[in-house]
Amino acid sequence: MPILVMKFGGTSVADLDRIRNAAEKVRAEVERGYDVIVIVSAMSGKTNELVGYVEGTSPLFDAREYDAVVSSGENVTAGLMSLTLQEMGIPARSWQGWQVPVKTTSAHSAARIEDIPRDHIDQKFAEGMRVAVVAGFQGISDEGRITTLGRGGSDTTAVAFAAAFAAERCDIYTDVNGVYTTDPRITSKARKLDKIALEEMLELASLGAKVLQTRSVELAMRYKVRLRVLSSFEQNTETSGTLVCDEEEIMESKVVSGVAHSRDEAKMTLVSVADRPGIAAAIFGPLSESGVNVDMIVQNISDDGRTDMTFSCPVDQVLRAERAMTEAKERGEINFHELIADTEVCKVSVVGIGMRSHAGVAAQMFKALRDENINIKVITTSEIKISVLIDRKYMELAVQALHDAFDLQGNDS
Ligand code: ADP
Ligand code: ASP
Ligand code: MG
């Protein structure tokens, strides 16, 4: 029988009624003739609660124990979903990541899936089981420890299963009815897209549009998984939601197709470091080893052989970054006068494959921000995106201004 992967996010399984609602959607696909692999998230708020327990216990926690704790939310929903389906008379069974086993790297809290052996689940399908319910977000390392895939990682579990089982499609059920031109919670002018190019979705996701985890889009690209985002609270048809597909399948011709934001950023400046060969390596090596995800980097012009180095990272990594820099200074690898952390910034980006062939997008973006009197602190660009770091209090205003400036509310074509 053809296989379908259906993933339900936290709000879609937030309580027993919602789990029943999701199970009804699974039942409909089983009745249509699919064997279904259901990937579930933890109930909404659960993972945050578990992260809070870990941070309350140990601020610079051991990531192996973090994973042991935060992976547990998904285990509960997997079991409950399987029980709900059984109550409906549908043969179902649950799996935790290690039972499949979902084999991952040992990069705790940011592990990558390496292999998903099919044997156990295939055997159960062959014996008449119709639904395999798998706890998302988690796996097991070569060392036999539980790992997690980073926040939002159940999306990645879903796409990885769709690839491993050659599923007909991977449906991501969530609390919005598709991918929008920007987060619909920020502006009511956001417009749902019927289709979005994988490459654009990849940029939007990596720039903060959390509707899909970045890695899940990468996997969909690599393994040619047909990926759809749709609502778990609406009646859907074959064409509901947003299809994330190849560029060639899309007729729309806007230069900018979406605006993304990432709220919790920090800007850190090392004041007066020696401007010498190797200084960037001496700074960013220890940051990377400490697990700090550096995003934007700016080096000022040099004055008297010294310079300022500015970088951005997620705000919850500031402690780690400060520790890594202080230790590097103590070891004599770098020298700086001061380390300034600005924890009140955010990143706003515009994305569009049309930018490849259109000049002037950056100027238009900067003008729209200027008209709102928003100061830009750092800028980065790539072929199909432009990002700026600004004060967090202007985030909504900036997103709305850019959405208007690039006419994203208008109809497709
Ligand atoms: P789930 O719990 O189902 O995984 P998430 O909260 O991770 O759901 O992702 C869905 C949310 O993503 C939406 O509620 C919405 O606020 C947010 N979002 C951000 N950018 C976009 C976008 N461009 N289109 C749709 N949703 C977006
Ligand atoms: N529960 C995890 C999180 O909140 C994984 C997910 O929902 O995708 O990040
Ligand atoms: Mg999510």
pLDDT tens track for 231-258: 999 999 888 999 999 988 887 778 999 9
pLDDT reported for residue 73? 98
Residues of the chain with CATH 3.40.1160.10: 3-248
Read off the pLDDT band of 11 (50, 70, 90): very high
Choose among 345, 341, 308, 307: nearest CA to 324: 341
CATH code, 259-406:
3.30.2130.10
* Statement: residue 32 has pLDDT above 70: yes
Give the pLDDT mean for 172-198.
96
Mean pLDDT of 96-120: 97
Residues composing the chain: 413
Rounded to whole angstroms, the Cα distance separating 397 from 278 reads 40
With vertex at residue 343, the alpha carbon angle to CA 338 and CA 349, rounded to the nearest 5 degrees, is: 120
| Ligand 2 pocket member 136 (CB < 6 A) | yes
Residue 219 has pLDDT above 60, yes or no: yes
3-state secondary structure at position 119: helix
Pairing status of strand 242-245 against strand 113-115: unpaired
Position 413 scores a pLDDT of: 36
Expressed in angstroms and rounded, the spacing between residue 211 Cα and the centre of ligand 3 is 6
Determine whether the shortest distance from the Cβ of 41 to ligand 2 is under 6 A: yes
Q: Which residues of 182-191 are buried (b: 16+ CB within 10 A; e: fewer)?
A: bbbebbeebb
Nearest ligand 2 atom to alpha carbon 74: 1
Centroid of ligand 3 to alpha carbon of 210 (angstroms) = 6
**DSSP characters over 332-387:** TS---SEEEEEEEEEEEEEE-GGGGG---HHHHHHHHHHHTTPPP-EEEEETTEEE
Q: pLDDT at residue 385 above 80?
A: yes
H or E element: which one contains 95?
strand 92-95
Cβ(151) – ligand 2 distance below 6 Å: yes
Predicted confidence band of residue 411 (pLDDT cuts 50, 70, 90): low
Q: Kindly tell me if the per-residue pLDDT of 412 is higher than 60.
A: no
Q: Which DSSP letter does residue 411 get?
A: P
Supply the mean pLDDT for the chain: 96
| Tens digit of each residue's pLDDT (9 = 90 or more) over 49-94 | 999 999 999 988 999 999 999 999 999 999 999 999 999 999 999 9
Q: Where are the beta strands (DSSP E) in 214-254?
A: 227-231, 242-245
Global pTM reads 0.94
By the 8 A CB rule, do 47 and 210 touch? no
- Of all atoms in ligand 2, which is nearest to the CA of residue 213? 8
- Determine the Cα–Cα distance for residues 131 and 94; give it in Å rounded to an integer: 9
Q: Which residues make up the CATH 3.30.2130.10 domain(s) of the chain?
A: 259-406
User: What would the pLDDT profile of 187-214 be if each residue is shown by its tens digit?
Assistant: 999 999 999 999 999 999 999 999 999 9
- Give which of 86, 100, 170, 75 is closest to 131, Cα–Cα: 86
**For 118-136, what is the mean pLDDT?**
98
What separation in angstroms does the CA of 397 have from each of 325, 370, 400?
34, 12, 5
- The model's pLDDT over 292-350, given as tens digits with 9 standing for 90+, comes to 999 999 998 888 899 999 999 999 999 999 999 999 999 999 999 999 999 999 999 99
Q: What's the CATH number for 3-248?
A: 3.40.1160.10
> What 3-state class would DSSP assign to 330?
helix
